[in-house]
């Protein structure tokens, strides 16, 4: 069957992304519909006021993406999400006041398989609606191409048989975005308590990174915390960039020190992977090991190339295990990556490299 051609521009017509809006507020359903309506590549296939009605719509409409509230009658959004991912995996973007006010709810939704989240728009902030609409549309487009995975229980791995000791002064520098919360968790679960320090920038708004760090700290052998300005980097610790600031690393004598800045967003993000990676290129050089995980866009790709030119050895998550392959793909395309691996093998291979093992994976 041939792809339809538009006679005007002779280009293949792309199928629209069909969106199902699930929210108990009629006003919110209208607002979200109006936000998506001007975009020719998006179509609101239907709306539902509760999860029971949503199930019927899912069966009848087979949407590409679902926007989902949390607090609804008949069934809460997290229960619906859990059943949806198990029985009929569909990309979901959470849209709820609870995803802004209750970071634990948001993190649980991501654990269950939601691709991403946005807060409900504040109706009194009309001037901010354009930016909100742009964010929502961007995340729906990314979700349409995302790989949805059923939730699985991840536990700390057994101690890894790593020969020798970790090289001194090494830092692991990690960047992630869409899908990154679960990828980071799987990565850190493979690290022993005495692992070299890990610095992480995950695209996440203020109010969420502290809860994210605490959840990881409770599950991992390595200690995990939200980064603080001026603190010394220590072995056996992973540091998460706060949602309100860029994270940088610099050298202070024989020690590495963390720096937080309120500089403007870079690549539309604060914290930005680009900022962290660039500081690593400048101050850590060949002692850095870069890791690019799942994420939308290209934040960090150019700076990862700077890291490689400064002597760093870089890894990227492979397409098959990424929720969204954008950030790793951009870094690979620039020639910034030395090895590409599935997330399940990333920790062991990074630790092996740090312990001086030879490559066990295909290099780029």
Which residue numbers are catalytic?
Answer: 177, 203, 299
Under DSSP, the state recorded for 5 is B
Q: Tokens in use for 29? A: 């359903």
H helix intervals, the chain: 26-36, 51-61, 77-87, 98-101, 103-112, 129-144, 180-189, 209-219, 273-283, 301-309, 326-333, 343-354
- Buried b / exposed e along 196-224 (16+ C-beta atoms within 10 A): bbbbbbbbbbebbbebbbbbbbeebbbbb
CA distance 66 to 205: 21
DSSP 111-144: HHT--EEEPPPPTT-GGGHHHHHHHHHHHHHHHH
> What's the angle, vertex CA 164, arms to CA 233 and CA 189, rounded to 5?
55
Say whether 207 sits in a helix, a strand or coil.
coil
Give the Cα separation of 312 and 160 in Å (integer).
23
Q: Which positions ≥6 away from 202 have C-beta within 8 Å?
A: 175, 176, 177, 180, 181, 184, 209, 212, 240, 241, 271
Q: Please, which residues bridge with residue 198 across strands?
A: 172, 238
């Amino acid at each position: 069957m041939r792809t339809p051609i538009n006679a005007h521009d002779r280009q293949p017509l792309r199928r629209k992304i069909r969106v199902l809006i699930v929210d108990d507020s009629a006003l919110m359903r209208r607002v979200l519909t109006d936000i998506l309506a001007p975009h020719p590549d998006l179509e609101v296939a239907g709306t539902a006021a509760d999860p029971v009605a949503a199930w019927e719509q899912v069966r009848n409409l087979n949407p590409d993406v679902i926007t989902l509230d949390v607090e609804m009658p008949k069934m809460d959004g997290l229960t619906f999400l859990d059943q949806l991912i198990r029985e009929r995996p569909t990309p979901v973007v959470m849209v709820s006041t609870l995803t802004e006010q209750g970071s634990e709810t948001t993190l649980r939704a991501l654990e269950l398989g939601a691709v991403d989240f946005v807060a409900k728009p504040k109706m009194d902030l009309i001037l901010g609606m354009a930016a909100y609409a742009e964010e929502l549309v961007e995340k729906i487009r990314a979700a349409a191409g995302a790989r949805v995975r059923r939730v699985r229980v991840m536990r700390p791995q057994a101690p890894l048989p790593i020969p020798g000791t970790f090289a001194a002064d090494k830092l692991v520098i990690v960047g992630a975005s869409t899908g990154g919360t679960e990828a980071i968790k799987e990565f850190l679960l493979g690290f022993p308590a005495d692992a070299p320090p890990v610095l992480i920038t995950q695209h996440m708004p203020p109010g969420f990174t502290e809860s994210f760090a605490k959840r990881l700290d409770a599950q991992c052998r390595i200690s995990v915390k939200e980064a603080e300005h001026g603190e010394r980097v220590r072995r056996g610790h992973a540091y998460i960039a706060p949602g309100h600031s860029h994270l940088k690393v610099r050298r202070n004598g024989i020690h590495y020190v963390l720096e937080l800045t309120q500089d403007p967003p870079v690549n539309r993000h604060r914290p930005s992977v680009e900022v962290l990676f660039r500081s690593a290129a400048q101050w850590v050089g060949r002692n850095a090991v870069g890791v690019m995980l799942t994420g939308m866009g290209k934040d960090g790709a150019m700076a990862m190339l700077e890291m490689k030119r400064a002597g760093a050895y870089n890894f990227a998550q492979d397409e098959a295990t990424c929720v969204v392959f954008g950030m790793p793909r951009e870094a690979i395309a620039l020639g910034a990556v030395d090895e590409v691996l599935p997330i399940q093998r990333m920790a062991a291979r990074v630790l092996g490299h740090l312990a001086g093992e030879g490559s066990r994976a295909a290099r780029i």
